[in-house]
Amino acid sequence: MRELITGIVLAGGRSSRMGYADKSFALYHGTPLIEHAMDSFQNAVAQTVVVTHEQPGAYQILNAEIISDSLYPGMGPLAGLVSAARVVSTPWVSIIACDMPLLPPDWVASLYKHALSAGARAAYAQQANPNFAAICAVARADTLRSADTLLQAGKRNWAAWLDSINAVPWSGFSNRQLTNINTLSELS
């Protein structure tokens, strides 16, 4: 399985709720959020790609391919998918936001197996709140191209991308495991 999947960390957000400090390097229990994200799929992927804002210099210390979301700057997670599509060479991708430090180490395998068993092109982590979609999915790499089509149509929403590729939900994670850190107070 590992050789079939590229891990993508989306780290290009503005971090406005963090006071515009780069959220990726905020410490959660002594470790930068982005390292938690990368560690969560370290043993499940062949390569790691980090998609960041237009100034990716600070990310060069990471053991990953660093790319900028310069094709659609400031346009959210779908912009990151479009940028990642340029460098992915595996048939599958795992996608996570940089601010989700509590995912279990088997999250990639769980979603990958669920997608395969459902005959789907993607599976995503479903949360109890239907108005919120965690940026946590495993998908066929060819589905990344549809993000470009959505952006060109003025749609930036993660859930719209999931719908466009007929992704199947998986409810095997707890709300705690799907926690994303958005404010300084949530770091403690």
CB atoms within 10 A of CB 146: 19
What's the rounded Cα separation, in Å, for the pair 67 and 88? 11
132 neighbors 158 (Cβ within 8 angstroms): no
Please, which residues bridge with residue 97 across strands?
A: 10
* Separation in Å, CA 58 to CA 46, 48, 142, 156: 23, 16, 29, 26
Please, which residues bridge with residue 48 across strands?
A: 7
Residue among 31, 42, 168 nearest 108 (CA) = 42
Q: Give 132's Cβ-side CA count (13 Å radius).
A: 8
Strongest mean pLDDT among 9-13, 79-83, 132-136: 79-83
pLDDT at 130: 63
Tens-digit pLDDT profile for residues 30-44: 989 889 999 998 889
Q: 3-state class of 14 per DSSP?
A: coil
The arithmetic mean of pLDDT across residues 84-105, rounded, is 94
Concatenated DSSP letters of 104-124: -TTHHHHHHHHHHHHT-SEEE
Tens-digit pLDDT profile for residues 105-144: 999 999 999 999 999 999 999 887 766 678 999 999 999 9
pLDDT at 127: 80
The arithmetic mean of pLDDT across residues 47-65, rounded, is 81
pLDDT at 1: 74
**Percent of the residues in the chain that have a pLDDT greater than 70, as a whole number:** 87
In the chain, domain spans: 2-187
User: Tell me, which fold does domain 2-187 have in CATH?
Assistant: Spore Coat Polysaccharide Biosynthesis Protein SpsA; Chain A (3.90.550)
Which two structure tokens, joined as six digits, stand for 10?
A: 């989306």
What's the rounded Cα separation, in Å, for the pair 117 and 39? 26
Residue 87 reports pLDDT greater than 90: yes
Strand order in the sheet with 122-125: 65-68, 47-52, 5-11, 92-97, 136-140, 122-125, 168-170
Tens-digit pLDDT profile for residues 14-28: 555 555 467 888 888
